[in-house]
Amino acid sequence: MNVFMLGWEFPPFISGGLGTACYGLTRALNEMGHRIIFVLPQPINAPETAHVQIRTPSDRPGALKTYNSYRLEEFQNVEFHAIPSAMQPYSQSTPGGWQSRIHADQRVVAEPRQTVVDDGSPEGPGAPASHRSGGGIAAGHYGGNMFADIQRYAEIAIDLARGENFDIVHAHDWMTFPAGLAVARTFGRPLVVQIHSTEFDRSGENVDRRIYQIEREGVATADRVIAVSYFTRNILINRYAADADRIDVVYNAIDNNGGNYVLPPPIRRDEKIVLFLGRITMQKGPEYFLAAAKAVLQFEKNVRFVMAGSGDMIRRSIELAAELGIGHKVVFTGFLRGEDVARVFRMADLYVMPSVSEPFGIAPLEALANDVPALISRQSGVSEILSHVLKVDFWDINEMANKIVAVLRHPPLQSTLREHGNFEIRKLTWRGAAENCTRVYEKTLSQPRRQVI
């Protein structure tokens, strides 16, 4: 099958679950022999990396020369097209992230729209109205406003798709939905949108209406919707009025070869380590972790709490640790990547994911793959598929502490969780996810096209 995929980050840019999921799924689809045109935003100012091999810079006459095309050796069936863009999947890498840019956007929203700089390419009758009527901003130029950037991204995606051969369009998360919709409409192909997280997960009840609208339109318009869990599927049904019959669940996975023997840490310390790893944002529940830490310290003194990650609540979390009087027991490492992630897992006795609303949650799988037992929030998609972990409601601080203390006190609990957990994740492969995804594609292609106006 030929798939036009609107995805996210690839190594070494991966900063979270969305990138990890796109990478894992695409790699497995590639191995299954699907041909993929993979379009992704390229962070502006990101350094060129050696392992990205640019082979075929786009030089088709008349095209908007605003993307880099390349191939990666381990992805034989994938063509990558990176569109320089400030779009980022999360708000973590830059202070405030896109949320602060949305606020900037609100200030300029009344400004007259710029007219698109026409590139002279012939416009098919199916081109989106916005493209013709000047809904976007000057191509190849970042206008400093998120929603315009998303629109501009869609236009470049259409240009990029011209002349390509694909059966289906697959878009990951809201920022790529306008592009997915535009490409699907322009070229008359069915659209699959995949929801890795919703605005309600990220922002609680304080949703940005415009983001909500984009998500809602994507879900309502797509031929089929992939949710990463039933947890997310339920949110789509209950809060987006999505048609339940069109939503399939495809769980994320982890590639763990099973022979992942992890050496014990070089120095055996007498201090236990409880790890939080993820973006330090409202969605991830850092304050519940700290409150539980405080409770644990009433019972166990020889324990340190490590918070690895960055995010818009990091300052608040540092202050909270101090207010709770446990500042000396909590370590903030900042954002970790690559080998540092493996290293911090290797040190940990327990990984805790206290998320308030977690559509999936790949990090617990990584913990288990690294032989670290996990305590996860029941308000997560991953809790639907894991049995050999501890589970807790994110708000139940005392129960969280109860379970953390048990792991610290009783080595047999830790070892049983570790053995069974590491075994359990071996069946959660990306190959399996890609097979499920392929079934969704087949279902999409075999169903009558939806008449969307």
Partner 1 sequence: MASVCMYFQVHQPYRLRKYSIFDSGHNYFDDERNAEICRKVAHKCYLPANQCILEQIRLHEGRFRVSFSLTGVVLDQFAEYCPEVIDSFRRLAETGCVEFLAETYYHSLAFLRSATEFEAQVAMHRKKIESLFGATSRIFRNTELIYNNDVAAAAHRLGFVGVLSEGADHLLGYRSPNFTYRPPGVPITLLLKNYRLSDDIAFRFSDRNWSEWPLTAEKFAGWVNQVNGCGHVVNLFMDYETFGEHQWVETGIFDFVRALPGAVMAASRDNGFKMPSEVVEAVPPAGELDVPHLISWADTERDLSAWLGNAMQSHSLQEAFNLEEAVKATDDDLLLTDWRRLLTSDHYYYMCTKYFADGDVHKYFNPYDSPYDSYINFMNVLDSVAARTK
Give contact residues for partner 1 (rule: CB under 8 A): 299, 387-388, 390-391, 398-399, 401-403, 405-406, 409-410, 412-413, 415-417, 420, 424
Please return the burial class of 237, using the count of CB atoms within 10 Å of its CB with bins 0-12, 13-18 and 19+. middle
| Nearer to partner 1 among residue 21 and residue 369 (C-beta) | 369
Backbone φ, ψ for residue 298 (5° rounding) = -70, -25
| Nearer to partner 1 among residue 346 and residue 420 (C-beta) | 420
Nearest-approach distance from CB 418 to partner 1, in angstroms: 10
| Nearer to partner 1 among residue 91 and residue 229 (C-beta) | 229
| Nearer to partner 1 among residue 22 and residue 417 (C-beta) | 417
Nearest-approach distance from CB 326 to partner 1, in angstroms: 17
| Nearer to partner 1 among residue 316 and residue 420 (C-beta) | 420
| Nearer to partner 1 among residue 158 and residue 369 (C-beta) | 369
Nearest-approach distance from CB 450 to partner 1, in angstroms: 37
| Nearer to partner 1 among residue 181 and residue 369 (C-beta) | 369
Nearest-approach distance from CB 329 to partner 1, in angstroms: 18
Beta carbons of 440 and 427 less than 8 angstroms apart: no
Nearest to 228 by CA among 437, 405, 452, 453: 437
Nearest-approach distance from CB 142 to partner 1, in angstroms: 49
Nearest to 33 by CA among 427, 428, 441: 441
**DSSP secondary structure string for all residues of 309-344:** ---TTHHHHHHHHHHTT-GGGEEEEE---THHHHHH
Contacts (Cβ under 8 Å, ≥6 apart) of 319: none
Nearest-approach distance from CB 406 to partner 1, in angstroms: 4
Nearest-approach distance from CB 401 to partner 1, in angstroms: 7
Beta carbons of 408 and 361 less than 8 angstroms apart: no
Radius of gyration of the chain (CA): 23
**DSSP secondary structure string for all residues of 219-275:** HHHSSEEEESSHHHHHHHHHHS---GGGEEE--------S--PPPPPSS--SSEEEE
Nearest-approach distance from CB 409 to partner 1, in angstroms: 8
Cβ neighbours around 315 below 10 Å, total: 12
Please return the burial class of 126, using the count of CB atoms within 10 Å of its CB with bins 0-12, 13-18 and 19+. exposed
Nearest-approach distance from CB 274 to partner 1, in angstroms: 15
| Nearer to partner 1 among residue 71 and residue 420 (C-beta) | 420
Nearest to 312 by CA among 337, 287, 275, 290: 287
Beta carbons of 325 and 298 less than 8 angstroms apart: no
| Nearer to partner 1 among residue 142 and residue 395 (C-beta) | 395
**Residue 62 identity (one-letter amino acid):** G
